[in-house]
Every structure is written in structure tokens, then in C-alpha cells.
């Protein structure tokens, strides 16, 4: 049968403000599923042109799929968010790249023609579900030295990365972290982050209801001095500190993906167009290097080179792993194309949710900067992986004809083939 | 104010006594957090709203209520916010509830210990002071009604400038009149001015008198009680967003001035008074006080309105009708859930299949109820195929009606239809756990039926009888396993009347009795344990009541006078009720009681003639006396014409006498069970506490029995 391969577009994305995990955090007594449900509800409200019954899949990521992050969250969240019973859903886990994987998986199904519109999202309430909750690693992993024991402790893998690349010093990591804090503060001042935040009513048994409207983790005013003496919890006299790493956080994200045709039919915004993506495995004990081979593979698939990428949204699990990426591709530590709104070191990294935060921000930057044609979202992933997704800016000069008005010939890059 | 037993926490099912144990108020706290509300959208210039959360620290099964400490805390918090608002720290104040509950009103558990009018006045004034403080805040105030909201809870919302309502709110009500109070923390003044007198009187008077009907959130919003409604999923977020738009002027709320049209107020009040007359016959003061307050709200200032509410609350709190209402409320809310004398529930056996002997109208009603509530197969049997088909057909027809009204899904309809089958053979009872007979009311017939059933069923199968008068012990007499026989007496119409009398025979064992109570609970009935005795509680007392009424009328007193004498006692005049149950059944009841108890119970010659003439009752469909019946009326040679007070005394006296005998004979476990049975089985009224508080209140028990039945304070103002 003839099969039309569809272009896939990013329609809209939102997230909750991120919170600090733990008893004092803003979401201490807020359910994890409610966080992602609010994101889905907000997406539906912000896009009244999208009839609910046209949402044909809901994929929600969580690393720890237990309790309020379990029960086939994609399906249950869809039902509670008010999507019709006909909308199916499922859960996704690729650790930190859960939401990114929810995006690429549903996008692939859209591209294949299985459906036209999906909601992808992610949530991690690290206060209710600490990393490693209930895990039971296969004993052979240790007995047969299948991976280094340090591979399961993310901070240790970051220390390992400092070992591998001695030029990546603690000072460079701290300087990078200060930059992240500064950029987040500036982006907030300029109102670039707030438009995609979903306010969340937070109930607390002893404090009553509050309303989360801004990220809780950022520490504006962070300096090299204030970072210098922080503890290195993963190794005595190590380099990785709470200051140059992302924290433990609670939060959720979600986005709408659509075939370009469906987006045009419904009049939905087209904010990014998916070009290519790749996930690649690396040695688990240096998982932070993962984005490098993933980016290379995604670039190769797209027929692009690193010079073609005008904007990067890199997840900052650890400063050192971002620096390893920048060094590899010959980018400066403070390259203005990278993380314009700052990153996870400042705003936080609720594991499986973070991938879509990167996409939301890249989509905003595309609108701000039509001179850029291609952008990349990339992140490292626990157990030794990296993920990279390349997007095209529909606002760019010379963007693919497929993102021109509907009268244009459909899908310039699309192919028709017999299946 | 000290408070007594705590409604939900108390596990005791013991009778109430005069000694009121001191009670720790479950305090509804008023937590405050500042939240940032946006201007026209999140991210815009923001205002600070102080958000009060009402939360008593328990989950939704124990809703927020306001006792003295809760009111004081709220008042204190509001005063703090006033200072902050004046200092420019906050630009608005919002109030919301805990999950699923906003607040459900005043904590009335302390009322029984209020002995002085000044105490009552103090309760009224403390609430008003706190709510007035909310109204007097110098910044806009918002109520975000996220869950159930009643009485004093709704009055908090009314005290705010704006209200949002969740579409998921299950209950919105001002139920005070139902209990015997008025919405006296501002409701009677504020609601009519907000939504107009007619709609307000629907909420304040009509709904409470319609067995305390509640509104859903969307209905309440449609009445104008809320300015805007949002879905429950992100209700608070959307409410705060809306509040932000109000604060910036992006949206505004237009309110009609309802005080302009005087005639609307007087006509609404007249209509409401007529309704109160019809429902209470003037015997409950609460609706009239509420109507007066509403009518006067048009021209009163707030302070005048609140002061009038204070007086009304104080009067009613010190009235026996309210105390009886609270007693009755406690019976149906609490005693009904833990039937006195019922064996431990763990002794109950599972019921996975039900047999019904008989396929007549009563049997059909039973089959329908058992199938819907127990959700197990129900087999009906009768003597011939026609009757069986009719019985099963009745249930199918019920199912069709539910389906047609959209009350059940097609799948559920299929399930219910397939659960109910019929046969002329009792073989289908072989694997039943519970068989109930609804055959002709004749001992020998019932005994034969049970013998036949026993030949088929397992020894543990419960044999229940829906007899309304016969001895359970006698019915079980010839059986091999009399220990599994139990009386299971429903009231017509079965689907509507809550009462189920459960009657053990002499040899009934604990397990069978526990099973009967468990089945009754699953059927969602109010179960009351009754001693095996002729006609049990409700029919015996109702029979004495109807009999004495007929005796008085047959003796020469005008029906209208007799009706007036007992107005406000039963839900309808006795001869109207007689038409509903049917003269043959009414006659049969009176004859049965007469046989059992002698001349105390009257068999009316008029009624005998009506039955013989096959007339459907005393009245024509238009409510006037049937001229044919007029010819059948007893014409005493020496008529005795009683006045209203004389007739009332006669009827109340015989009720007191009969209740005294029933208590002496141990027919009921306690006086409270008699009131509970009369309220749920005969529709007797809350403001009379069923019947015994009325008899105590009017001194009838003292005169007839030489003593009160309930100690002062239990269902009356303590002496």
C-alpha cells in the first residue's frame, strides 16, 4: 500500500514551575500525577482549536513508575485531564530522557501515519519518589562487572567525566554554573520563561493552599566564591557539588505534537519542525558524554553538521557533562548559542520531565530569532546514554517549503513509498 | 459555649442521656498563604492575594464545621488581614476549603448544652461578627467554593464580594430550616439581596422542606449564587486567574438591584408561607421566621438584618422544635447507621443468590431492589406461569424506565434484566442464600411455603418473611431449621421508604440475624431491630393512630376538625393515606391489630362498608369527599363532637399509651428506635422528633404514663 510519511511539528509546550524535592518544597504534598494533569489541561485550554477527541495518543514519562507515577500514567492522566475515553495512553521510561523519548516515539508514530496528534509529557516528583526508589539491579551487573558500580550513582559518573577530561576543571564547572544562574535570572526578568509555566495550586495540610507560579530552585546572585567551598558529596576533594549540578526536583512538562497537515487543518501553531533524532549508548560510568555520539548521529541522519545548529538547549545534569559536549564540538563554555535562558543547574531537573522543557525554550528562541534555521535539544541519560533531537525553525528564512502556507506543495521532505 | 458529643468521631450507639460529656471541638483552621495572582494572564503584572484555606485537619469524611474556636480563629485571621490590607501588603483576600469540602456550617453538636438564651445569642453574634469582618475588609474578597458548602459555610461565601464555584461541588444548601433553624449568619439577609427573594426562598425554605434537597454546583451557579463556574480539575488555579482579571478590571460582574421591586418580595413571601403551611401546618416555627427575615431584608440595613437574624437564631435555639430536629437528625444520621442490638457484622453470611416466593406487586418491588443493590441473581416463583411472567415483567419494566431516564447504562440494564428470572418451580432456590416470601398474609400459607422452600435449600439459607403482622416464631415453628428464619418487613413503596424492620423469632440465631442486618444495609435501608410481636413498631403505632382518628370521626366529629387536631404529625391526613394504601389493606391491618390487642384498636364500620362497596377511598381524585362514601359514613345516634384540642388530646394520649406499652413489652430496643421507625417508615416529622419528643413536650406522656419518656435535654431544651 502507498504510505505517506508526514512531517511532524511541535505545536505547543508547557510545564509546571519546578520545585525543590523534600518536605519544604512547594510540591511537598502535591501529587505527581496532578502535576502532569495540569500541564495537559493547560495545553487543551491554550489550544481551543484542538478538539479533545482529536488527541489520539498520550505518552507520559516517569522514571520511577510507582504509586502516583504508576498505573499507566499516560492513560490515567489523560482520563483525569478530561480527554475522552477514546484517547489511549501509555507510560515511558528512559530515565532523564523520558519526556524526550515520549516526544520522539509519538512523533515517529505520527510520521509513520499511525495517528495525527499526540500529547507527550513527563513528570518526576523526586520528593515523593527519590531516585532509585524500589530498584532491584540484577546481581550479574556487579558480579560480572557488566558496568562499573559507580555507574548507578549519577554524581559519581560526573566525577568520572572530570577524570576522563582533565582539562574540565572544577573552576570551569563552577563558572559554567554561575552563568546558568545568571541567564535564568535574566530570562525571568525579561519574561521569557513565564509564558510557558502552568500555575499549580499546592495544598499543604499545615499551610493550606498556595499557588506555584515560579521556579523554586534558582539562586540568583550565585558567584564563584559562593560555589567554591561547597561539599563534594560523591568523592572526597572531588569536583562535583550541589552548585554545579542540577538539584533534586519536582515538576512536569507536556507538549502537543501533530502532523503538519493536521496542524494546518486545525489552525494550530507550528512552532518547530522535527528534523531528526538519535539516542546512543555509552559506557554507563561516563553517562554524561552520551549527548556527543547522539548529536553526531542525529546530525548525520539530517545531513547537517554542527555548524548548521544555531541554537542549543542542553540539559545541565552536571556542568561537566555540558562542558564535555562543548569541548568536543569546539564551542566556547559561554557560547551565546547555548542555553540562552540558562539551564537545569539553575531551574532544576525533575528527571523524566526535562526533555520537553528544553523544547519549550527552543521553540521560544526560534520565535525570537528567525536568523536561526536549526536548533538542537540534547541530554545525557542514566545507565549511559545520550539523546539529541534536531528541530527546524519555521520562522527562519529559507525554512523548508513544507512549513510554508497550505497552498504550497505538501511536505517537501516527505516521501511516498510503497510499504 | 461547651459542646457535647462529636457527631462523626463518637463510636457509641448508646442512648443519649442528660449528662452531656464535654466535647473537644474539631477546630476548622484558617490557614493563610500569600499567592501571586496575575493581571490578564500569568506572567503579567501581579497582585498579592492572601488565600485562606479552611481545614479541620481531617479528610473529606469529616467536613469543616464552625464551632466557637473555629469562628474565633477565622475572625482573628481576618483582623490580621485587615491590617495587612490597610498597609498595602495585600490587594485581595480569597477563601477556599480543603479538598472536596468548603465548609458545611455551624458545629451544632454543642447545642444540647445551651441552656440560656444569652448563650444562644452569643453563638449567633460571634458568627456575624466574623463574617461582617470579612465584608468590611478594605480589599476585594473572593470565595473559591471548591467543595460541599452548606449553612454557615455558604454564608462565608455570601460574605465575600465575589464567588467562584467548582462544577464538581456535590452539595450547596442552606439546610437550617430542615433542622429547625434559620440561615442566621447572614444568609437570610444576603442571599435574597444577591439572587432575589424568590430564588432565595427556594434555597432557604422550599428545598429544606423537600426532605432537605441539595443543589449541585452548576445549579447553584445558575441561580446566581456564584459569579462564575470552573471545572474541578484546575478549579483553584482558574479561580485565581479570574480573580486577577477582576482585580485589573479585565472582567467585571454586574449585579441586579433586587431591592427595587417590592412586589416581588411580598409575593415570594406569600408563596413561601403557603408552602410552609402545606408542609408543616404551622407546627414548625423555623420556615416562618426565615420567610419573615427574607421579606424584611429588602429594606433593612446589614446591621439591622444581622441583628434580626441574631434574635431569630436565639429564639429557635431555645425552642423545643429545633432540639427535636437535632435529635431526629442524629437518629437518621447516626443511630440508623449502627442499629441498636444488631449482632456483630462479622457473623453475617454472604448472600450470592436470592429467592423470592411470590410474584405479586410486593414481590416485584423486592426483586427490583435486591437485583439493583445486591447485584446477585434473583429468582421469583409463583403458582402459575402467568403470575411469574407478570412479576418478572414488572422488574423488566422498572429497568426499562431507568434506562429510558438515562439513570442506568444499556450494559447495566442488560445485567439487571439477566439477574431476575422466574419459575413455577422452587428448584431454582437450591443454591440461594436468602429466600424471602411475599405471599398472602396468612400464617398457614406462609408456614407451608417455608416448609416447601426448606425441602430445597441448604440448611444455612436464610428464610425471611415480609409479613407485616404475623409471629415469626410461629412461622418458624414446624421447620427443621427454625434458627434461620427472620422477619424482614419493608414499607410501601419499597424503593422509596427507608425503613426495614428486622424481627428475630425466638429461635433465630445470631448469624441469621447478622445476615439480615447486613443485607438490609446493602439494600441501603434503615434497619431497626424489633421484638417479635403483632404488627411490630410502625404498623402498630400507625394502626392505633388511624384507629383512634376513625373512632373520633365515626363518633361524630368532623373530619376537618380531626385533621386540624393532628396537623403536622404525619405527612398527610389519615384518610388520604388510607386511599393510598387501599381500604382493604387498611381494614385488614385494623382487624389484625384488633384481634391481637382488643378494643384499643378500632375497626371502623365505615371502612368495612367502603371495602364492601369496593370504593378506592374516602375522597375523589380532586380531594373532595366521595358522595357515595358519604352515604356509607357512620351515623351515630348520639354524636360526640370534639373540639380540635379535645381531638388532639385523645389521639396523642392513645399514642402515648401505646408507646408506653411497647416499651414495657420490649417491642423496641429503646424509645429512639420508635422515633426512628416513625420518621423513616411513616414519614413523621423532624420538628416533633418523630413522636415521643412531641408527647413529652405537650405533657401527654406525663399525664398518661406519669412520666416523660426522654429526659429533658435529649430532644428538648434542658430544664
Mind listing the domains of chain B with CATH numbers? 29-318 (3.90.226.10), 345-529 (3.40.50.720), 538-666 (1.10.1040.50)
Residue B45 binned pLDDT confidence (cut-offs 50, 70, 90): low
- Report the b/e string of A152-182 with b at 16+ CB within 10 A: bbbbbbbbbbbeebeebebebbbbbbbbbbb
Query: pLDDT tens, A330-360?
Result: 999 999 999 999 999 999 999 999 999 999 9
Q: What percent of chain B has pLDDT above 90?
A: 92
Predicted local confidence at residue A134, as pLDDT: 92
Chain A 201-220, residues with CB within 8 Å of chain B CB atoms: 201, 203, 205-211, 213-214
Residue A401 has pLDDT above 70, yes or no: no
Do the chains contact at A203 and B99, CB–CB below 8 Å? yes
Closest-CA distance of chain A to residue B416, Å: 24
Task: Confirm if A340 and A311 have CB atoms less than 8 A apart.
Answer: yes
Predicted local confidence at residue B24, as pLDDT: 82
A380 is catalytic: yes
Work out whether strand A208-212 and strand B228-230 pair parallel, antiparallel, or are unpaired: unpaired
Do the chains contact at A210 and B35, CB–CB below 8 Å? yes
Residue B316 binned pLDDT confidence (cut-offs 50, 70, 90): very high
Task: Confirm if B479 and B456 have CB atoms less than 8 A apart.
Answer: no
The grid coordinates listed for B684 are 413523621
- The rounded distance, in Å, linking the Cα atoms of B188 and B195 is 12
What is the average per-residue pLDDT within B204-232? Answer: 96
The grid coordinates listed for B68 are 466557637
Size of interface A-B (CB pairs under 8 A): 68
Predicted local confidence at residue A403, as pLDDT: 44
The grid coordinates listed for B476 are 418458624
Beta bridge partners of A12: A256
A125 is catalytic: no
Residue A405 binned pLDDT confidence (cut-offs 50, 70, 90): very low
What is the average per-residue pLDDT within B57-85? Answer: 97
Q: Say whether residue A189 is in contact with chain B using an 8 A CB cutoff.
A: no
User: Which residue stretches of B57-203 are H helix?
Assistant: 68-86, 117-135, 151-159, 176-179, 187-195, 197-201
Residue B217 has pLDDT above 70, yes or no: yes
Residue A288 has pLDDT above 50, yes or no: yes
Residue B479 has pLDDT above 50, yes or no: yes
Query: pLDDT tens, A117-135?
Result: 999 999 999 999 999 999 9
Predicted local confidence at residue B503, as pLDDT: 98
Q: For A2-127+147-394, give the CATH class.
A: alpha beta
3-state secondary structure B287-320: HHHHHHHHHHHCCCCHHHHHHHHHHHHHHHHCCH
Do the chains contact at A213 and B241, CB–CB below 8 Å? no
Residue from the list A82, A200, A205 with its beta carbon closest to the beta carbon of B237: A200
Chain A 141-170, residues with CB within 8 Å of chain B CB atoms: none
Residue A6 binned pLDDT confidence (cut-offs 50, 70, 90): very high
Q: Please give the C-alpha separations between residue B617 and each of B442, B584, B632, in angstroms, as whole numbers.
A: 24, 10, 11
Residue from the list B31, B57, B237 with its beta carbon closest to the beta carbon of A199: B237
Kindly give the interhelix angle for A354-368 and A98-112, rounded to the nearest 10 degrees.
70
- The rounded distance, in Å, linking the Cα atoms of B327 and B325 is 5
Query: pLDDT tens, B417-459?
Result: 999 999 999 999 999 999 999 999 999 999 999 999 999 999 9
The H or E element containing residue A208 is strand A208-212
Predicted local confidence at residue A147, as pLDDT: 87
Residues of B at the A interface (Cβ-Cβ below 8 Å)? Answer: 31-33, 35-38, 42-43, 46, 51-53, 55, 57, 96, 98-99, 231, 233-234, 236-237, 240-241
Q: Please give the C-alpha separations between residue B385 and each of A319, B289, B389, B419, B423, in angstroms, as whole numbers.
A: 85, 59, 6, 18, 7
Of A103-112, B2-11, B161-170, B452-461, the least confident: B2-11
Backbone angles phi, psi at B440, to 5 degrees: -55, 140
Nearest to A295 by CA among A376, A229, A207: A376
What is the average per-residue pLDDT within B674-683? Answer: 96
Predicted local confidence at residue A3, as pLDDT: 80
Which residues in B lie closer than 8 A to residue A209 (C-beta atoms)? 31, 33, 35, 51, 53, 96, 236
In whole numbers, what is the pLDDT of chain B averaged over residues? 94
Higher pLDDT, A19 or B15: A19
Cis omega before residue B493 (within 30°)?
yes
Q: Say whether residue A254 is in contact with chain B using an 8 A CB cutoff.
A: no
Of A184-188, B15-19, B462-466, B475-479, the least confident: B15-19
Which residues in B lie closer than 8 A to residue A194 (C-beta atoms)? 42-43
Residue B43 has pLDDT above 80, yes or no: no
Q: Please give the C-alpha separations between residue A329 and each of A322, A325, B636, in angstroms, as whole numbers.
A: 11, 6, 117
The H or E element containing residue B142 is strand B141-145
What is the average per-residue pLDDT within B315-322? Answer: 96
What is the average per-residue pLDDT within A373-399? Answer: 95
Residue B679 has pLDDT above 70, yes or no: yes
Which residues in A lie closer than 8 A to residue B244 (C-beta atoms)? none
Interface test with B, best of A40, A206, A211 (most B CBs within 10 A): A211
Q: Which of A96, A125, A129, A162 is catalytic?
A: A96
Q: Say whether residue A2 is in contact with chain B using an 8 A CB cutoff.
A: no
Do the chains contact at A208 and B53, CB–CB below 8 Å? yes
Task: Confirm if B60 and B147 have CB atoms less than 8 A apart.
Answer: yes
What is the average per-residue pLDDT within B129-144? Answer: 98
Residue B331 binned pLDDT confidence (cut-offs 50, 70, 90): very high
Predicted local confidence at residue A410, as pLDDT: 40
Backbone angles phi, psi at A283, to 5 degrees: -60, 130
What is the average per-residue pLDDT within B130-152? Answer: 98
Residue B2 has pLDDT above 50, yes or no: no
Task: Confirm if B502 and B528 have CB atoms less than 8 A apart.
Answer: yes
Asked if the ipTM is above 0.85, the reply is yes
Residue from the list A37, A205, A209 with its beta carbon closest to the beta carbon of B96: A209
Task: Confirm if A189 and A182 have CB atoms less than 8 A apart.
Answer: no
Task: Confirm if B671 and B539 have CB atoms less than 8 A apart.
Answer: no
* Half-sphere CA count of A62, side-chain side, radius 13 A: 30
Chain center to CA of B603 = 32
A39 is catalytic: no
What is the average per-residue pLDDT within B563-591? Answer: 92
DSSP helix/strand/coil, B232: coil
Q: Which of A125, A162, A255, A380 is catalytic?
A: A380
Residue B21 has pLDDT above 90, yes or no: no
- Dump strand ranges (E) for B409-478: 420-423, 434-437, 462-465
Predicted local confidence at residue A412, as pLDDT: 40
The grid coordinates listed for A121 are 509529557
Residue A415 has pLDDT above 60, yes or no: no
Predicted local confidence at residue B52, as pLDDT: 98
Task: Confirm if A363 and A195 have CB atoms less than 8 A apart.
Answer: no
Do the chains contact at A210 and B33, CB–CB below 8 Å? yes
Q: What percent of chain A has pLDDT above 70?
A: 95
What is the average per-residue pLDDT within A89-106? Answer: 98
Q: Say whether residue A84 is in contact with chain B using an 8 A CB cutoff.
A: no
Beta bridge partners of A245: A318
Backbone angles phi, psi at B433, to 5 degrees: -105, -10
Predicted local confidence at residue B116, as pLDDT: 95
Beta bridge partners of A121: A60, A254
Residue B39 binned pLDDT confidence (cut-offs 50, 70, 90): low
Closest chain A residue to B46 measured between Cα atoms? A213
Q: Which of A125, A129, A162, A349 is catalytic?
A: A349
Predicted local confidence at residue A254, as pLDDT: 98
- Cα separation of the two ends of chain A: 6
The grid coordinates listed for B175 are 439546610
Q: Say whether residue A80 is in contact with chain B using an 8 A CB cutoff.
A: yes
Predicted local confidence at residue B44, as pLDDT: 53
Neighbours of A307 (CB within 10 A): 10
Residue B23 has pLDDT above 80, yes or no: no
Of A34-48, B258-272, B371-385, B567-581, the least confident: B567-581
Which residues in B lie closer than 8 A to residue A198 (C-beta atoms)? 237
Beta bridge partners of B95: B52, B143
Predicted local confidence at residue A38, as pLDDT: 97
The grid coordinates listed for A396 are 527562519
The grid coordinates listed for B716 are 428538648
Whether the CA torsion B459, B464, B467, B473 is positive or negative: it is: positive
Interface test with A, best of B42, B47, B74, B230 (most A CBs within 10 A): B42
Cell 542514566 belongs to A382
Long-range contacts of A295-303 (CB under 8 A, 24+ apart): A295/A325, A295/A329, A295/A376, A295/A378, A295/A386, A295/A388, A297/A388, A298/A376, A298/A388, A298/A389, A298/A390, A299/A390, A301/A276, A301/A277, A302/A275, A302/A276, A302/A374, A302/A390
Backbone angles phi, psi at B557, to 5 degrees: -85, 140
Work out whether strand A117-125 and strand B354-357 pair parallel, antiparallel, or are unpaired: unpaired
Which residues in A lie closer than 8 A to residue B31 (C-beta atoms)? 206-209
Closest chain A residue to B34 measured between Cα atoms? A210
- The rounded distance, in Å, linking the Cα atoms of B23 and A203 is 29
Amino acid at each position: 500500500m502507498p504510505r505517506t510519511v508526514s512531517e511532524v511539528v511541535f505545536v505547543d509546550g508547557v510545564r509546571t514551575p519546578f520545585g525543590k524535592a523534600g518536605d519544604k518544597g512547594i510540591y511537598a504534598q502535591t501529587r505527581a500525577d496532578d502535576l502532569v494533569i495540569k500541564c495537559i489541561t493547560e495545553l487543551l485550554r491554550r489550544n481551543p482549536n484542538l478538539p479533545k477527541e482529536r488527541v489520539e495518543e498520550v505518552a507520559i514519562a516517569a522514571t520511577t513508575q510507582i504509586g502516583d507515577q504508576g498505573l499507566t500514567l499516560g492513560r490515567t492522566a489523560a482520563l483525569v485531564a478530561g480527554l475522552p475515553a477514546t484517547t489511549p495512553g501509555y507510560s515511558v521510561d528512559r530515565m532523564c530522557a523520558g519526556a524526550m523519548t515520549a516526544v520522539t516515539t509519538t512523533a515517529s508514530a505520527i510520521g509513520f501515519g499511525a495517528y495525527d496528534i499526540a500529547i507527550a509529557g513527563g513528570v518526576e516528583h523526586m520528593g515523593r519518589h527519590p531516585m532509585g526508589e524500589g530498584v532491584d539491579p540484577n546481581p550479574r551487573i556487579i558480579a560480572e562487572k557488566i558496568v562499573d558500580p559507580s555507574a548507578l550513582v549519577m554524581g559519581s559518573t560526573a566525577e568520572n567525566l572530570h577524570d576522563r577530561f582533565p582539562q574540565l576543571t572544577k573552576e570551569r564547572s563552577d563558572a559554567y554554573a554561575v552563568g546558568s544562574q545568571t541567564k535564568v535570572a535574566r530570562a525571568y526578568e525579561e519574561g521569557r520563561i513565564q509564558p510557558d509555566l502552568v500555575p499549580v495550586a499546592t495544598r499543604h495540610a499545615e499551610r493550606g493552599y498556595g499557588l506555584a507560579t515560579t521556579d523554586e530552585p534558582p539562586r540568583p546572585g550565585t558567584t564563584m566564591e559562593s560555589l567554591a567551598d561547597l561539599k563534594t558529596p560523591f568523592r572526597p576533594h572531588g569536583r562535583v557539588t550541589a552548585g554545579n549540578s542540577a538539584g533534586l526536583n519536582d515538576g512536569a512538562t507536556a507538549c502537543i505534537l501533530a502532523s503538519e497537515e493536521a496542524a494546518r487543518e486545525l489552525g494550530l501553531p507550528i512552532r518547530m519542525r522535527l528534523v531528526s533524532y538519535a539516542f546512543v549508548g555509552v559506557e554507563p560510568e561516563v553517562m554524561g558524554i552520551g549527548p556527543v555520539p547522539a548529536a553526531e548521529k542525529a546530525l548525520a541522519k539530517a545531513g547537517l553538521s554542527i555548524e548548521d545548529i544555531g541554537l542549543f538547549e542542553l540539559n545541565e545534569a552536571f556542568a561537566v557533562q555540558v562542558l564535555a559536549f562543548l569541548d568536543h564540538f569546539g564551542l566556547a563554555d559561554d557560547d551565546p548559542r547555548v542555553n540562552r535562558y540558562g539551564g537545569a543547574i539553575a531551574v532544576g531537573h525533575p528527571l523524566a520531565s526535562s526533555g520537553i522543557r528544553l523544547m519549550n525554550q527552543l521553540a521560544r528562541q526560534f520565535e525570537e530569532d528567525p536568523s536561526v534555521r536549526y536548533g538542537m535539544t540534547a541530554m545525557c541519560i542514566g545507565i549511559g546514554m545520550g539523546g539529541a533531537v534536531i528541530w527546524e525553525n519555521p520562522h527562519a528564512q529559507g525554512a523548508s517549503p513544507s512549513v510554508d502556507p497550505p497552498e504550497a506543495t505538501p511536505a517537501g521532505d516527505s516521501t511516498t513509498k510503497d510499504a | 459555649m461547651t459542646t457535647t458529643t462529636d457527631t462523626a468521631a463518637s463510636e457509641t450507639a448508646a442512648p443519649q442521656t442528660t449528662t452531656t460529656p464535654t466535647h473537644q471541638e474539631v477546630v476548622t483552621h484558617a490557614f493563610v498563604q500569600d499567592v501571586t495572582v496575575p493581571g490578564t494572564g500569568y506572567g503579567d503584572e501581579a497582585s498579592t492575594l492572601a488565600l485562606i484555606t479552611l481545614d479541620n485537619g481531617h479528610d473529606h469524611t469529616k467536613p469543616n464545621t464552625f464551632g466557637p474556636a473555629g469562628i474565633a480563629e477565622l475572625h482573628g485571621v481576618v483582623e490580621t488581614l485587615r491590617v495587612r490590607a490597610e498597609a498595602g501588603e495585600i490587594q485581595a483576600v480569597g477563601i477556599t476549603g480543603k479538598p472536596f469540602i468548603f465548609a458545611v456550617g455551624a458545629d451544632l453538636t454543642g447545642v444540647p448544652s445551651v441552656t440560656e438564651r444569652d448563650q444562644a445569642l452569643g453563638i449567633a453574634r460571634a458568627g456575624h461578627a466574623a463574617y461582617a469582618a470579612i465584608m468590611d475588609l478594605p480589599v476585594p474578597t473572593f470565595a473559591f467554593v471548591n467543595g460541599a458548602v452548606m449553612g454557615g459555610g455558604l454564608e462565608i461565601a455570601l460574605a465575600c464580594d465575589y464567588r467562584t464555584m467548582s462544577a464538581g461541588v456535590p452539595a450547596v444548601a442552606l439546610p437550617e430550616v430542615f433542622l429547625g433553624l434559620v440561615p442566621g449568619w447572614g444568609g437570610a439577609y444576603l442571599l435574597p439581596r444577591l439572587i432575589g427573594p424568590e430564588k432565595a426562598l427556594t434555597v432557604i425554605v422550599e428545598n429544606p422542606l423537600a426532605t432537605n434537597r441539595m443543589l449541585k454546583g452548576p445549579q447553584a451557579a445558575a441561580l446566581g449564587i456564584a459569579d462564575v463556574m470552573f471545572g474541578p480539575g484546575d478549579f483553584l488555579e482558574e479561580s485565581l486567574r479570574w480573580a486577577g482579571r477582576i482585580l485589573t478590571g479585565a472582567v467585571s460582574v454586574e449585579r441586579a438591584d433586587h431591592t427595587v421591586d417590592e412586589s416581588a418580595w411580598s409575593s415570594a413571601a406569600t408563596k413561601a408561607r403557603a408552602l410552609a403551611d402545606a408542609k408543616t401546618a404551622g407546627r414548625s416555627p423555623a420556615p416562618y421566621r426565615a420567610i419573615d427575615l427574607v421579606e424584611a431584608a429588602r429594606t433593612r440595613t446589614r446591621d439591622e438584618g444581622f441583628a434580626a437574624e441574631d434574635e431569630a437564631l436565639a429564639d429557635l435555639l431555645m425552642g423545643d422544635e429545633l432540639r427535636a430536629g437535632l435529635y431526629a437528625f442524629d437518629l437518621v444520621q447516626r443511630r440508623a447507621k449502627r442499629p441498636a442490638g444488631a449482632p456483630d457484622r462479622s457473623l453475617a453470611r454472604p448472600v450470592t443468590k436470592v429467592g423470592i416466593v411470590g410474584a405479586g406487586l410486593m414481590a416485584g418491588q423486592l426483586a427490583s431492589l435486591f437485583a439493583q443493590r445486591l447485584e446477585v441473581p434473583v429468582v421469583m416463583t409463583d403458582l402459575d406461569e402467568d403470575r411469574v411472567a407478570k412479576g418478572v415483567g414488572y422488574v423488566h419494566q422498572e429497568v426499562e424506565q431507568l434506562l429510558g431516564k438515562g439513570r442506568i447504562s444499556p450494559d447495566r440494564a442488560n445485567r439487571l434484566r439477566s439477574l431476575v428470572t422466574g419459575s413455577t418451580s422452587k428448584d431454582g432456590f437450591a443454591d440461594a442464600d436468602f429466600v424471602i416470601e411475599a405471599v398472602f398474609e396468612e400464617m398457614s400459607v406462609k408456614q407451608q411455603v417455608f416448609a416447601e422452600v426448606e425441602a430445597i435449600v441448604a440448611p444455612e439459607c436464610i428464610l425471611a418473611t415480609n409479613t407485616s403482622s404475623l409471629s415469626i416464631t410461629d412461622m418458624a415453628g414446624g421447620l427443621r431449621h427454625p434458627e434461620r428464619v427472620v422477619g424482614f418487613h419493608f414499607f410501601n413503596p419499597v424503593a422509596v421508604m427507608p425503613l426495614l424492620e428486622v424481627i428475630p423469632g425466638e429461635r433465630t440465631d445470631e448469624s441469621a440475624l447478622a445476615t439480615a442486618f447486613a443485607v438490609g444495609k446493602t439494600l441501603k435501608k434503615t434497619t431497626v431491630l424489633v421484638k417479635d410481636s403483632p404488627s411490630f413498631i410502625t404498623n402498630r403505632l400507625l394502626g392505633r393512630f388511624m384507629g383512634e382518628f376513625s373512632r373520633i370521626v365515626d363518633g361524630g366529629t368532623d373530619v376537618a376538625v380531626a385533621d386540624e387536631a393532628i396537623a403536622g404529625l404525619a405527612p398527610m391526613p389519615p384518610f388520604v393515606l388510607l386511599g393510598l394504601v387501599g381500604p382493604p389493606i387498611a381494614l385488614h391491618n385494623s382487624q389484625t391489630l384488633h384481634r391481637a390487642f382488643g378494643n384499643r384498636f378500632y375497626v371502623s364500620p365505615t371502612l368495612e362498608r367502603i371495602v364492601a362497596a369496593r370504593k378506592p377511598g374516602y375522597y375523589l381524585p380532586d380531594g373532595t369527599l366521595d358522595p357515595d362514601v358519604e352515604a356509607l359514613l357512620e351515623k351515630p345516634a348520639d354524636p360526640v363532637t370534639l373540639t380540635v384540642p379535645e381531638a388532639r388530646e385523645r389521639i396523642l394520649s392513645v399514642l402515648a399509651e401505646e408507646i408506653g406499652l411497647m416499651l414495657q413489652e420490649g417491642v423496641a430496643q429503646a424509645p429512639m428506635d420508635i422515633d426512628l421507625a416513625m420518621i423513616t417508615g411513616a414519614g413523621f416529622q423532624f420538628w416533633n422528633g418523630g413522636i415521643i419528643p412531641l408527647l413529652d413536650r405537650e405533657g401527654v406522656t406525663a399525664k398518661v404514663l406519669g412520666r416523660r419518656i426522654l429526659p429533658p435535654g435529649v430532644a428538648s431544651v434542658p430544664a
